[in-house]
Chains A and B, each alone.
Chain A
Amino acid sequence: MANTETADNAEPTRRDFIYIATGGVAAVGAALTIWPFIDQMNPDAAALALAQVEVDVSALEPGMSLTVKWRGKPVFIRNRTAKEIEEAEAVDVDSLPDGLARNANLAADAPASDANRGADGREAWLVQIGICTHLGCVPLGQQGAYGGYFCPCHGSVYDTAGRIRQGPAPENLHIPVYSFVTETKLRIG
């Protein structure tokens, strides 16, 4: 376009303004147009609507587990035994590879004490997303050196509170937003 500017020198500023304005409007239009093409890949309204499940846990005696699907992922619900809680409580939080609770119901900097891992006021209940924080495999329950969870893919070992103890995983198992709607009904999400 450079050669056009040599001719018609009468109103250079107005011409420049038109070029800049047109280019600017075109850029804004292009940027806004891209958004629908990006946003269409986000979870759709139907997927978002199902992002909450309610689970009846009345049948879970201490020592029993239940796995439910939430947002396409497994959620481990475990009613822990007194021994498991005891073992978990005995651990020094400062010695853990990941010292944070990773509990979406608590503040992000909450320490990984057993009380912060278990359900609020019901420490026996452990509700966690069953996805290894290493590369996304599903760990096996009640296995491994710490009696908690063991991921068969790359050997990460979690304890009875779902905290990483050995192996490549960087974080404790994540705890989703959940609450007890009634004594026996758990709502995840």
Chain B
Amino acid sequence: MRNLSLTVPLLTAPYLRASLLGAMALGFGAFTSPAISQEGDDASEPTQAEIAAIDEEQEVHDTAHFPLKKPELLNWSFAGIFGRYDLPQLQRGFQVYREVCASCHGLEYVAFRNFQGHGGLGYSEAEVKALAAEYQITAGPNDEGDMFERPGIPADRFPSPFPNVQAAAAANGGAAPPDLSLMAKARGASRGPVWTVLDFFTQYQEAGPDYIHALLTGYGEEPPHGLEVAEGTYYNPYFLAGASLAMPPPLSDGIVTYSDGSPETIDQYSRDVSAFLMWAAEPHLVERKRLGFQVGIFLIVFAGLMYLTKKRVWAREAH
């Protein structure tokens, strides 16, 4: 009932926006803290600038439902009925993950073997073996009962940067960096009732990568007036759970060197790593869509035949 009881004060005082925001902020815990400054009761006539400021603050209150800004919708190669992963893009995205994200974020459900072939990132068996061997895996216990380190093999999963959640939280100011294996399916901004209905027909399933891209490129904006960004957090209007988050901007232009001549910009890095994370979350996407097309064709033909059969059977009977 805990989370329901949270709604009860809102029910009794639905228009007290400040308390509403406060209650929501409580819900986000240590991860975010969008502190809203309260305008004091000023007896004097407000100046023009102050009125504008109040209006802006009002706007912040009205958009208390995060994210403050909706993500931009991108054209992904894996969108649509014939969607396919762009293997060079996945490889670049993996490079970004490896050189930037992996220092804090794990990828615990992805194994090195998943990288092999066309269902993976397009790497050969030898490349996957070499890649796995670059990582040290804790294995054991051996005959003496001790754990030991050994080079990775393709069957191993990605080792996490921290031994456990507590260590991850301790090393990151109390907010453990989430695992990224499922990030592209575990996030998505609400689309509102109209788009939600339309998405059924347009087959929009890319809210996750759109969100990741928007978040990674969304740092650096000036917070709206009246919104104080809490110490140790970074303003990002695309963040789902508040106005700011504990992760500092991870990317900067040129931080990763691409070998295929792709632009070395925050935007390109964000696109690539979002695509990679979509693959990590849904490795069977291409197989799924291909099979779905075959099944769809089959069912439409079958339905047509069933309709003709039904018409034949019923032909002589009034109904």
Contact = CB atoms under 8 A, between A and B. Distances in A.
Interface of A: 1, 4, 7-8, 15, 18-19, 21-22, 25-26, 29, 45-46, 49-50
A25 B315 CA distance: 22
Contact of B155 (A1, A4, A18, A50): A50
Contacts of A19: 309, 312
B305 A46 contact: no
Interface string B136-157: 0000000000000000001100
A21 B305 contact: yes
A25 B301 contact: yes
A49 B309 contact: no
Contacts of B113: 45, 49
Contacts of A22: 302, 305-306, 308-309
B311 to A, nearest CB: 9
Contacts of B309: 18-19, 22
Contacts of A21: 305
Contact of B111 (A15, A25, A29, A49): A49
Interface centre among A1, A8, A18, A21 (most CB of B within 10 A): A18
B319 interface: no
B315 A8 contact: yes
B313 A4 contact: yes
Contacts of B316: 4, 7-8
Contacts of A50: 155
B298 interface: yes
Interface string B293-319: 000001001100110110011011000
B312 A46 contact: no
A184 to B, nearest CB: 16
Report the contact-size class of chain B (Cβ under 8 Å from the partner): 10 to 19
Interface in B16-66: none
Nearest to B154: A49
What 7 A-B pairs are tightest by C-beta distance, nearest first? A49-B155, A22-B305, A7-B316, A22-B309, A49-B113, A18-B308, A50-B155
Nearest to A47: B155
Contacts of B305: 18, 21-22, 25
A46 B312 CA distance: 51
A22 B302 CA distance: 7
B300 to A, nearest CB: 11
Contacts of A46: 111, 155
Interface string B87-127: 00000000000000000000000010100000000000000
B231 to A, nearest CB: 44
A4 B305 CA distance: 17
A28 to B, nearest CB: 8
Nearest to B114: A45
A26 B312 contact: no
A172 B312 CA distance: 64
Contacts of A15: 312
B9 to A, nearest CB: 48
28 contacts: A1-B313, A4-B312, A4-B316, A7-B315, A8-B315, A8-B316, A15-B312, A18-B305, A18-B308, A18-B309, A18-B312, A21-B305, A22-B302, A22-B305, A22-B308, A22-B309, A25-B298, A25-B301, A25-B302, A25-B305, A26-B302, A29-B298, A29-B302, A45-B113, A46-B111, A49-B111, A49-B155, A50-B155
A26 B302 CA distance: 7
Contacts of B308: 18, 22
Contacts of B312: 4, 15, 18-19
A49 B128 CA distance: 12
Interface centre among B301, B306, B312, B316 (most CB of A within 10 A): B312
Contacts of B155: 46, 49-50
Contacts of B313: 1, 4
Given A4-B313, A49-B155, 5 more contacts: A1-B313, A18-B312, A29-B298, A49-B111, A49-B154
Contacts of A8: 315-316
A7 B314 CA distance: 11
Interface in B265-319: 298, 301-302, 305-306, 308-309, 312-313, 315-316
Contacts of A4: 312-313, 316
B209 to A, nearest CB: 24
Contacts of B306: 22
Interface centre among A8, A15, A22, A45 (most CB of B within 10 A): A22
A72 to B, nearest CB: 14
Nearest to A16: B312
Nearest to B306: A22
A85 to B, nearest CB: 28
A15 B309 CA distance: 8
